Amino acid sequence: MSKTTGIGASVKRVEDYRFLTGRGRYTDDMNRPGQCHAYIVRSPHAHARILSIDTSATVAAPGVLTVLTGADMVADNIGSLPCGWLIHSRDGTPMKEPKHLPIAADKVRHVGDQVAVVIAETLQQAKDAAELLEIEYEELPAVVAPGSVETAGTAVHDEAPDNVCYDWVWGGKDKTDAAFAQAAHVTTLDLVNTRLVPNAMEPRAAVGEYDPGMDEYTLTTTSQNPQLIRLLLCGFTMGLPEHKVRVVAPDVGGGFGSKIYHYAEEVIVVYAARRLKRPVKWTAERSESFLSDAHGRDHLTHVELAMDASGIFLGMRVNTTANMGAYLSTFSSCIPTILYATLLSGQYKTPAIHAEVKAVFTNTVPVDAYRGAGRPEACYLIERIVDVAAREMGIDRAELRRRNFITPEMMPYDTPVGLQYDSGNFARNLEDALALIDYDGFPARRAESAARGKRRGIGFASYIEACGIAPSNVAGALGARAGLYDSAEVRFHPTGSVSVMVGVHSHGQGHETTFAQIVSERLGVPMDKIEIVHGDSAKTPFGMGTYGSRSLAVGGMAMMKAIDKVIAKSKKIAAHLLEASAEDIEQDGGVFRVAGTDKSVDIAAIAGAAYVPHNYPLDELEPGLDEQAFYDPKNFTFPNGTQICEVEVDPDTGVVKIVRFAAVDDFGRVINPMIVEGQVHGGLVQGIGQALLEHAIYDEDSGQLLTGSFMDYAMPRADDVPDFEVKTNEVLCTTNALGVKGCGEAGTIGGAACVMNAVCDALDIGHMDMPASPERVWRVIRDSRFGMAAE
């Protein structure tokens, strides 16, 4: 019988009741006494100088309290939105880091850039008054296509006349050149990793409050990392003293990376609240989300793979242009570098790899981490070129992967791009996925499809990613400007219930359940007596929040350390209560026993003794049972797996239908299989979305976002995607005591590559760029029928 509680059990989620009954508390659900409303006026131009802003009619409109512009913020010394990672170019110069003011003061640099904010008693009044604002712009030519920024003839920022932010290299050039010199075959590929809009279902929102009596600020915001937002608000943008600032991220409706960053609107509502001495609320409309949430991906890549005659990989070269958009978002600079090029070894023992990455500015929305962040981009190019190589070499695609896999015996394995993989059995994941999808039966299924006039294809992606970015000192040496540890406090209450305050944040991941499962198992406390508290800087210790599948591997480990401290202290209290030596106390869940006897005491009684210390070793121990820990990981963790997908293409319409999908993943130890499967499903659909549907498109002349709503940007819907068969292979992580690797991004890491490999197989072509929409697929089929080159 499967477990019903504790680690490894599919415990139903603690948080569901409030969400299912409409009692979730999201930022826009909060309304403060005296609250007023901010409406942000955004640039209609991709690139323009602001010549003048006439606010006179706006401030005179009904209900208007104030109009704020960039000039006001400059006058009040409001700082630039910072970038959290410093990358150096190959010539040793630091990346170009232009200012990013919360409201543009001189120029606007993308459609949607903040120009002014109108604050009124009601949102409708603010919107109406914003219509009266007279802004004079001098339009400038826009830099839009990332591939031609250097010859665009105009600069997004004066500091970067060629629009290049940095020109970075990684890996071994000489070794890679030598490998290519020996190659029997070189496969080359040019590909586009499309720009995506994360589109968490809850639009961003922020409420700023200022208490003049206490000189205290509260920001409620849709963030994945409220403590980090407080740090940036205090240390950079607003310059406030941290002890006077509370940042709360309550229930947050999805993030996928887009809610990591410190956004202009967070500064605007806090600044306006201080000026007006009233709570100020802002909530994005979806069209604003499209124009102001950081986008994802947007790479142009040339890749070359050198092989010997039997298909053994000898070396790989990668050249990528990464679009940063108009400004450097909080973590933008590390995505196409540290989180991308370090993963270019994939699951393969490629001995020599060299990567060149040029990051460029364009007059588009800033680009930053989106689910997977750098790693899906790495996986996409690796898994695509492996398929193209197999096609060119006439080797079965599964077989080519097998020949090149890093084996379990090689662990720990040092890649040529700077990582040390601790564990994994890549071949087993592949074989299990082949069995799940019935690979041997594929030719018959393909023939059956062909008999119905359909083209069937199968594709794999054998992915690896790096989660729980770490350790802090190594990250710091690579340019990180923040630590990457996390924290937890385990607080036993006098009557035996437990509050656990964690520095990570849950916005769909179910931490209130999974973290409680660990506490319950380790401390023997029933689930209904455990509360996991997150998302409030006034309640939790300083932590770095949730992204990069770090919550369990880093935050969970901090909690384990705090639990260990509770156990250590409890043993001493138990020893006193049982009149034994602490060394003789054995702990099993909530029971503390003198070894070899039936003398025991439970943890509730220990907590009682700790808080009512009448019978207590006061000269040796402090009262109370409340322990805090910080944890800085020793290494990244490396989730890995193989995804396989089968598609059927209708050659008359170009419609691609996913007919089967199997995923076998190694996430290390699984705490809650039900939640892990849900994470895989959701991640896969974001990968499928990129492969078949989603694409953020800018008009290359005007810089207008052509896909600025759910009417134009194709989000995956229920009838676009299949059921999934998923399985986990637990190979415990060797670098953390929980043995966990992380599961939040896995589906998205391989999903797009897997689907595109199947599409290309179905179409019998080497490559086509995403998305494989009906029109584009139909064109490929038409071109191949009439002997034209496929795109």
Partner 1 sequence: MPVSITLTVNGKTTALTVEPNTLLVDAIRQHLSLTGTHVGCDTSQCGACVVHLDGVSVKSCTTLAVQADGRSVVTIEGLAAPDGTLHPMQAAFKEHHGLQCGFCTPGMVMSAVDLARVNPDATPDEIRHWLEGNICRCTGYHNIVKAVESGLQAMKTGASAQAAE
Task: Record the tokens describing residue 122, joined without a space.
Answer: 């009601």
CA distance 679 to 747: 8
* Contact characters 643-682, partner 1, x per CB under 8 A: -------------------------------xx-xx-xxx
Which residues in the 225-254 window bind partner 1 by CB under 8 A?
251-254
| 26 belongs to the binding site for partner 1 (CB under 8 A) | yes
Which residues in the 27-86 window bind partner 1 by CB under 8 A?
28-29, 31
Give 62 or 94: the residue with its C-beta nearer to partner 1.
62
CA distance 87 to 98: 14
Give 231 or 685: the residue with its C-beta nearer to partner 1.
685
CA distance 700 to 351: 40
Task: Record the tokens describing residue 69, joined without a space.
Answer: 């512009």
**390: phi then psi, degrees, rounded to nearest 5:** -60, -40
Give 201 or 477: the residue with its C-beta nearer to partner 1.
201
Give 223 or 487: the residue with its C-beta nearer to partner 1.
223
* Contact characters 94-133, partner 1, x per CB under 8 A: ------------------------------x---------
Residue of 101, 321, 286 whose CA lies nearest to 198: 286
**Minimum Å distance from CB 251 to partner 1?**
7
16, 131, 190, 396: which one binds partner 1 (CB under 8 A): 16
| 727 belongs to the binding site for partner 1 (CB under 8 A) | no
Which residues in the 282-341 window bind partner 1 by CB under 8 A?
285-287
3, 17, 93, 310: which one binds partner 1 (CB under 8 A): 17
CA distance 685 to 39: 33
Residue of 320, 548, 313, 304 whose CA lies nearest to 416: 313
Which residues lie below 8 Å from residue 493, measured CB to CB, with a gap of 6+?
A: 499, 607, 611
**Minimum Å distance from CB 743 to partner 1?**
13
**310: phi then psi, degrees, rounded to nearest 5:** -95, 10
| 747 belongs to the binding site for partner 1 (CB under 8 A) | yes
641 in Cβ contact with 463 (< 8 Å): yes
Give 130 or 562: the residue with its C-beta nearer to partner 1.
130
- Which long-range contacts link 440-449 to residues 24+ away (Cβ below 8 Å)? 442/646, 445/646, 449/648
**Minimum Å distance from CB 723 to partner 1?**
6
74, 721, 732, 790: which one binds partner 1 (CB under 8 A): 721
**Minimum Å distance from CB 675 to partner 1?**
7
With both helix axes pointing from N to C terminus, report the angle between 557-577 and 603-611 in degrees, rounded to the nearest 10.
Answer: 80
What are the residues facing 81 on neighbouring strands?
A: none
Which residues in the 163-222 window bind partner 1 by CB under 8 A?
199-203
Give 30 or 74: the residue with its C-beta nearer to partner 1.
30
What are the residues facing 315 on neighbouring strands?
A: 306, 352
| 256 belongs to the binding site for partner 1 (CB under 8 A) | yes
Give 619 or 723: the residue with its C-beta nearer to partner 1.
723
Which residues lie below 8 Å from residue 174, measured CB to CB, with a gap of 6+?
A: none
CA distance 358 to 360: 6
How does strand 36-42 pair with strand 280-283? parallel
Give 256 or 485: the residue with its C-beta nearer to partner 1.
256
The CA-based dihedral angle spanning residues 513, 517, 519, 524, taken in that order and rounded to the nearest 10 degrees = 130
| 789 belongs to the binding site for partner 1 (CB under 8 A) | no
41 in Cβ contact with 99 (< 8 Å): no
The CA-based dihedral angle spanning residues 436, 438, 439, 442, taken in that order and rounded to the nearest 10 degrees = -140
**Minimum Å distance from CB 2 to partner 1?**
15
Give 539 or 681: the residue with its C-beta nearer to partner 1.
681
**Minimum Å distance from CB 139 to partner 1?**
27
Task: Record the tokens describing residue 414, joined without a space.
Answer: 């040092």
**Minimum Å distance from CB 492 to partner 1?**
29
Give 31 or 151: the residue with its C-beta nearer to partner 1.
31
Which residues in the 267-286 window bind partner 1 by CB under 8 A?
285-286
346, 510, 608, 742: which one binds partner 1 (CB under 8 A): 510
CA distance 302 to 744: 28
**Minimum Å distance from CB 786 to partner 1?**
35
Stretch near partner 1 under the rule CB under 8 A, chosen from 7-15, 453-461, 631-639, 698-706: 7-15
**Minimum Å distance from CB 124 to partner 1?**
8
| 409 belongs to the binding site for partner 1 (CB under 8 A) | no
Give 582 or 721: the residue with its C-beta nearer to partner 1.
721
Alpha helices, DSSP H, located in 225-366 = 226-232, 264-276, 286-292
Give 533 or 715: the residue with its C-beta nearer to partner 1.
715
Task: Record the tokens describing residue 280, joined without a space.
Answer: 């100020």
**Minimum Å distance from CB 103 to partner 1?**
23
CA distance 571 to 585: 6
**Minimum Å distance from CB 653 to partner 1?**
18
Stretch near partner 1 under the rule CB under 8 A, chosen from 13-21, 444-452, 546-554, 582-590: 13-21
20, 612, 618, 706: which one binds partner 1 (CB under 8 A): 20
C-beta neighbour count of 105 within 10 angstroms: 18
**Minimum Å distance from CB 545 to partner 1?**
15
CA distance 222 to 547: 14
Look up residue 684 and give its DSSP letter. H
| 507 belongs to the binding site for partner 1 (CB under 8 A) | yes
**Minimum Å distance from CB 41 to partner 1?**
17
CA distance 665 to 433: 9
**Minimum Å distance from CB 690 to partner 1?**
13
CA distance 488 to 502: 4
Give 617 or 722: the residue with its C-beta nearer to partner 1.
722
Which residues lie below 8 Å from residue 181, measured CB to CB, with a gap of 6+?
A: none
Give 437 or 625: the residue with its C-beta nearer to partner 1.
437
Give 288 or 422: the residue with its C-beta nearer to partner 1.
288
Give 124 or 473: the residue with its C-beta nearer to partner 1.
124
449 in Cβ contact with 648 (< 8 Å): yes
Which residues lie below 8 Å from residue 237, measured CB to CB, with a gap of 6+?
A: 78, 79, 80, 81, 82, 102, 262, 266, 267
Which residues lie below 8 Å from residue 452, measured CB to CB, with a gap of 6+?
A: none
Give 251 or 368: the residue with its C-beta nearer to partner 1.
251
What 3-state DSSP class applies to 385?
helix
Q: Which amino acid is at 143?
A: V
Give 26 or 413: the residue with its C-beta nearer to partner 1.
26
| Euclidean distance between the first and the last CA atom of the chain, given in angstroms as a whole number | 54
| 683 belongs to the binding site for partner 1 (CB under 8 A) | yes
Stretch near partner 1 under the rule CB under 8 A, chosen from 103-111, 355-363, 446-454, 706-714: 706-714
**Minimum Å distance from CB 178 to partner 1?**
44
| 3 belongs to the binding site for partner 1 (CB under 8 A) | no
DSSP codes of every residue in 29-48: G---TT-EEEEEEE-SSSSE
Residues that bind partner 1 (CB under 8 A): 12-13, 15-26, 28-29, 31, 124, 199-203, 251-254, 256, 285-287, 507-510, 674-675, 677-678, 680-686, 709-711, 715-719, 721, 723-724, 747
